[in-house]
Structures are given as structure tokens and as C-alpha cells.
Amino acid sequence: MKKKQNIDWTNILIKISKDIEKYPPSILAKKHGITRTNFGSLCKRFPKLMEINKNLHKNYLNDEKAFNYTRYLVTDILKLKVNEKLPRLLPKASKMFFGPYNSIIVYARKKIKKDSFWKNFSATSYLVCGAFSEKFLPYQFEKGNNFKYFDSKINIFKALLEVFKLKNNINLEKDDIDSEVKYSMIMDRRGTFSDPNLKLYGIQRRFWSKTFSTKKLNDVRIALTEYLQLNSLKTRDSTKKIINTLRKNNIKTTECAVCGETRRLEYHHIINIQHSHVLSEEDDINDHKNLIPLCIYHHDDAKNINLNSYYKKNGFEGIKNTLIKRLKRI
């Protein structure tokens, strides 16, 4: 007859108790190689463990435990990489928070209902943002059909500032940075506030275009500079207005000033908007002397030519011809 094996229940409980804050009890038992039968026996010997296992969402769960459990679920069970693509790769809550994890999503849903900010977002976003602090923002996660948080311009501004801080570790509202530098960073169309970046962080075109009544992301960037009171710098006139300014001063608007190309024209500010602080009080950033029509190729080259020093010595006088000469040498 096979001799009955003696099990050191106290030692098993000690092992489990060390990680009880990280994993749900049944998951923890599996992690330590405890069979379902032995886990059942363990719960009978230690009623407190059974109570925790059955009533996670009622008495035992708090934010710290819920976040710890979620972290283990994402990295060890779902085996997902923790990077900026994670929010889009997560399964739906019903499939993600299965079995012993169901109590966690129930806990989170109850928690966010009482919070004026988090009630706008999903319980999944609450748990994942908490599990991986300072890595994600709630805007990155799937939004419900009744999502209205971005109907407010102020909320979009706040979201943009959070995205900038997450990506650059810079608080545009509080950090002591020169206002001209802040302005340049915000207005950089290939920077943090580019369309692909904002889409990645859940601030899609369908939201900001509706709230700001515009199809141009640049309008949103300008609005953010005004919100931060950085609008001491000059702003760019609309393309239509620029064309009218050039025509009024008998300047051709239908061909590139360098090569004569007539297709895909753009209108370049020789002293660009970001450097408008170098202008004297008498000069306007949108003055016809500072504007020049260019094809897309010469416009790309012109963006890399800085004539601030020339302007400081000569003003706008001759600046257009100087730019054209430099472009022809490239």
C-alpha cells in the first residue's frame, strides 16, 4: 500500500503569502506548482485564503492589488510587449479578464463610475495605466460609442499636454523653458503633435476636427499656443490671404520664384514663424517682402536656410534675392 505523503501546508502558505499582493490566489497556486486539489485543501485549512479567493472584488481588492494583478496578466499570461502599441493589441475586456481575473475588471468598473475623470474611459485603460504608470494614457485605449470627453477644447488641450510630457518628459505648462522654444516645439509638424503621433495616442482627427471646426492640425497647434499664452509670436496668414498679399504687390503667385515650376506650389516665409521674434516692431511676418512662392522641392530646401542674421543687418531689403541665390546653388 502506497504511503500517504505528508504535506507541509504551513510552508506552502508561506510561499504563497510572499506574492499574494501580486497575483490572484488561484493563479499564485499554479505559479508555485500547487495542484487544484491541494489548493482546495489549503483553502479549507486556511479559511481566510478561501475568502480572498472567492470575494476578491468585494472586500480584498484595492488599486495596488488590482494593478499588480493586471501587470502579471499582461506580461505573463497574455505575454504582450509593454510598448506604445500595447493599447491597440489588448483583447476586449470580456476575453482579457477571464476566470480569476473577472473580479478585477468588476472592481475597476465600479471604481471609475465614482471618478469624474476616469468615468469617461474604459475600465481596461484604468487598470493598464495603473499597472504601468507613466507609460500609457487613457486616450490610447478603445473608446465607447458615447465618448464625449474630446467635445471640449480644454480637454483636448490637457490631453495634448499629457502626450507631450509622456513622450518628452517636459511639462509645457510648468517647466521653465523659453516661450519661443515651447512655441517651436508645439508648431513642429513632424514633432510630437504630428498627425501620426496624435493618432497613436488616441487623439484622432475625427475628434479634434469636430471640436475645433477645422481640417488643419496646424490650427489646433496654434490654439494650443494661445491656450498656453505663447501667442506673443506672430501667426501665419491663411494661404488665401498670402496669395492676395502677393498679388496686391504685383508678385507672381502661379510659379516657383526659383525654377518657374507651376505645379504643387507652396508659399514660404523667409523669416519663418518660429523665428518671428527677430522681426522689428515695424515689420510683419506676413509682409510681401517676406513671402515667396516655391515648388515643393525648393520649399523643402528653403526650410533649411536661416537668414535671421541677414535680416538683423539689412531688414527685408534684398532678402528675397539672397534666398533665391542660395537655392540656385543647392
What mean pLDDT do residues 304-329 have?
94
**Do both 95 and 159 map to the same domain?**
no
In a domain, 232, yes or no: no
pLDDT tens per residue, range 217-246: 989 998 999 899 885 556 778 889 999 999
pLDDT for the residue numbered 34:
74
C-alpha cell at 1: 500500500
Residues 267 and 293 reside in one and the same domain: yes
Q: Cα separation of 115 and 117, whole Å?
A: 6
For the record, the C-alpha cell of 93 comes out as 475586456
Please tell me the predicted confidence (pLDDT) of residue 92.
86
Amino acid (one-letter) located at 31: K
Total domain count for the chain?
4
**Candidate ranges 57-61, 95-99, 183-187; pick with highest mean pLDDT:** 183-187
**Domain span holding position 186:** 149-227
User: How high does pLDDT run on average in the chain?
Assistant: 86
Are 216 and 189 in the same domain? yes
Q: What is the largest CA-CA distance in the chain?
A: 109
- The candidate with the shortest Cα–Cα distance to 208, out of 255, 261, 167, 163, is 163
- Mean pLDDT for the stretch of residues 175-183: 83
Measured between alpha carbons, how far is 34 from 16 in angstroms, rounded to an integer?
Answer: 10
CA 201 from chain centre, in angstroms, equals 4
| SS3 state of residue 80 | coil
Q: Is 237 helix (H, G, I), strand (E, B) or coil?
A: coil
Residue 102 lies in a domain: yes
